[in-house]
């Protein structure tokens, strides 16, 4: 069934289908795809009935997301449903939904369930979960990407019209690239993180996955409200975007691009650059080192302390319940001191200045979303190094306070997708959506 928001609403209006029929077809598909390890929890009939009854006396035209099914990463709260962050022993039942989830439900959306993730949102692979390795939607031998693994695959395999993920190091972009989706990582703080289990609280973002750009736009408009209860929430200072027939954009120098031996990915990126140039753009090579230097701070610098703080009781009192690779990464945060923090902050301050200057000169920066993709077996044999490779183009984003949208950019000969990311300054989501629309031809 086509779960496109616009198409689904049209079918509801015409009487061609009902919300109950759509939900029923989704649950049939959930049963057929259990081996993908997409879901940690799906709502039962009684739990769903509350959301279905809520729509009975509503006009379809009055609710922008009337009857639209969506999936929620299981580090984001849904009232009355367990939040596990992929750690069963950590599980709790929230008394209210996350701010963004409340906004979506008020708009008429129907939550289907909570999706699998790299435990405590620590990973870009989708394999670090006691609920099973989440499998790629195109080829089950390959990783789904993470940490928002189940959220991406649920949309790719048409069990949700859109889904919520989170993104601290790339978790809202990498799974988009690996499952042929669009992933929006808006400006830090624009989407509230109230009701989200923290990874790095000062950097965390809630993200949106969908197949269509129109769906991304519609969901973003609904959830980008300021939240007084979230100390990191920011008012969305919308920057109007002027459509330019001719524009310039930045790409990393050839010698700084990394594809980790994936020649097809390299070719697809070159084609993406040419496509933007055919649309009126001119690519300029820039020094990528400030972005790379910033990216390296995310796991080697003091921000690992935030991950430690987020699960301090768990990792100090019951470390055995934490997935081994996750435990190894987060445990390192206990030994980082204030000297490391300030040294790292000075580096970031320097690189933020460089980034600001770059985005004054160019409309946006274009990079691969990832340089390559790996099989599940490869990641299990070398979990940290390969995960680090996947973060080469993503880890700096929130540290430098930038916005980004990941979009599909073709397929390898084996059918696995490749994606690129359009990067802009904070609050420039309109620009991102405009250039993504131009690129995708929608």
Is position 137 annotated as part of the catalytic site? no
Only one residue has tokens 């309109």, namely 430
- Is residue 406 a part of any domain in this protein? no
- Is residue 120 a part of any domain in this protein? yes
- Is residue 275 a part of any domain in this protein? no
Total domain count for the chain? 1
- Is residue 390 a part of any domain in this protein? no
Confidence of residue 340 (pLDDT cuts 50, 70, 90): very high
- Partners of 111 in beta bridges: 70
Residue 161 belongs to domain with CATH number: 3.90.1300.10
Catalytic residue among 137, 161, 171, 294: 171
243 pLDDT higher than 80: no
Catalytic residue among 73, 103, 185, 438: 73
**Secondary structure (DSSP) of 379-395:** HHHSHHHHHHHHTTTTT
What domain range is 199 assigned to? 5-223
Helix (H) or strand (E) holding 155: helix 149-156
Lowest mean pLDDT among 205-209, 330-334, 416-420: 330-334
The SS3 assignment for 275 reads helix
Is position 25 annotated as part of the catalytic site? no
Is position 96 annotated as part of the catalytic site? no
pLDDT tens for 398-441 read 999 999 999 999 999 999 999 999 999 999 999 999 999 999 99
- pTM for this prediction: 0.97
Catalytic residue among 147, 148, 161, 434: 147
Report pLDDT for 149. 98
pLDDT tens for 362-406 read 999 999 999 999 999 999 999 999 999 999 999 999 999 999 999
- Is residue 245 a part of any domain in this protein? no
65 pLDDT higher than 90: yes
Gap between the terminal Cα atoms of the chain: 21
- Is residue 429 a part of any domain in this protein? no
Q: Would residue 141 be called left, alpha or beta, if left means φ above 0 and alpha means ψ between -120 and 50 degrees?
A: alpha
Report pLDDT for 442. 86
Closest CA to 274 of 115, 403, 94, 410: 410
pLDDT tens for 122-162 read 999 999 999 999 999 999 999 999 999 999 999 999 999 99
- Is residue 37 a part of any domain in this protein? yes
Mean pLDDT of 21-30: 97
- Is residue 235 a part of any domain in this protein? no
User: Under a CB-based contact definition with an 8 Å cutoff, are residues 207 and 166 in contact?
Assistant: yes
pLDDT tens for 212-222 read 999 999 999 99
């Amino acid at each position: 069934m086509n779960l496109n928001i616009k198409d689904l609403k049209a079918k509801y209006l015409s009487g061609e289908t009902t919300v109950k029929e759509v939900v029923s077809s989704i649950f049939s598909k959930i049963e057929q795809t259990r081996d993908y390890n997409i879901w940690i929890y799906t709502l039962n009939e009684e739990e769903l009935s509350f959301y279905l009854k809520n729509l009975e006396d509503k006009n379809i035209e009055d609710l922008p997301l009337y009857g639209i099914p969506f999936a929620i990463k299981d580090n984001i709260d849904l009232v009355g449903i367990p939040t596990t962050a992929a750690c069963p022993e950590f599980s709790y039942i929230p008394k209210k939904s996350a701010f963004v989830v409340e906004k979506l439900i008020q708009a008429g959306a129907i939550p289907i369930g909570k999706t699998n993730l790299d435990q405590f949102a620590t990973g870009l692979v989708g394999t670090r979960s006691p609920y099973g390795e989440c499998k790629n939607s195109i080829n089950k031998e390959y990783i789904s990407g993470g940490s928002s693994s189940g959220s991406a695959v649920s949309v790719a395999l048409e069990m949700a019209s859109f889904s919520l993920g989170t993104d601290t190091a790339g978790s809202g972009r990498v799974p988009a690239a690996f499952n042929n989706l669009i992933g929006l990582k808006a400006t830090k703080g624009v989407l509230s993180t109230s009701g989200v289990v923290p990874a790095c609280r000062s950097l965390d973002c809630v993200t949106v996955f969908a197949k269509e750009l129109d769906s991304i736009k519609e969901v973003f408009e609904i959830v980008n409200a300021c939240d007084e209860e979230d100390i990191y929430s920011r008012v969305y200072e919308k920057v109007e975007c002027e459509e330019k027939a001719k524009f310039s954009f930045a790409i990393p120098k050839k010698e700084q691009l990394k594809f980790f031996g994936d020649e097809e990915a390299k070719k697809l990126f070159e084609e993406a650059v040419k496509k933007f140039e055919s649309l009126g753009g001119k690519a300029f090579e820039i020094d990528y080192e400030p972005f790379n230097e910033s990216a390296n701070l995310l796991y080697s610098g003091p921000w690992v302390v935030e991950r430690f703080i987020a699960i301090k009781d768990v990792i100090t009192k019951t470390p055995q319940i934490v997935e081994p690779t996750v435990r190894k990464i987060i445990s390192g945060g206990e030994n980082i001191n204030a000297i490391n923090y300030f040294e790292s902050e000075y580096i970031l301050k320097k690189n933020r200045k460089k980034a600001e200057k770059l985005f004054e000169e160019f409309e946006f920066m274009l990079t691969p979303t990832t340089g390559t993709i790996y099989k599940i077996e490869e990641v299990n044999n070398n979990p940290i190094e390969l995960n680090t490779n996947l973060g080469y183009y993503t880890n700096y984003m929130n540290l430098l306070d930038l916005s980004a949208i990941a979009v599909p950019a073709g397929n390898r000969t084996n059918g696995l997708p490749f994606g690129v990311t359009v990067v802009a300054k904070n609050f420039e989501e309109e620009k991102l959506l405009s250039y993504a629309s131009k690129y995708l031809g929608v």
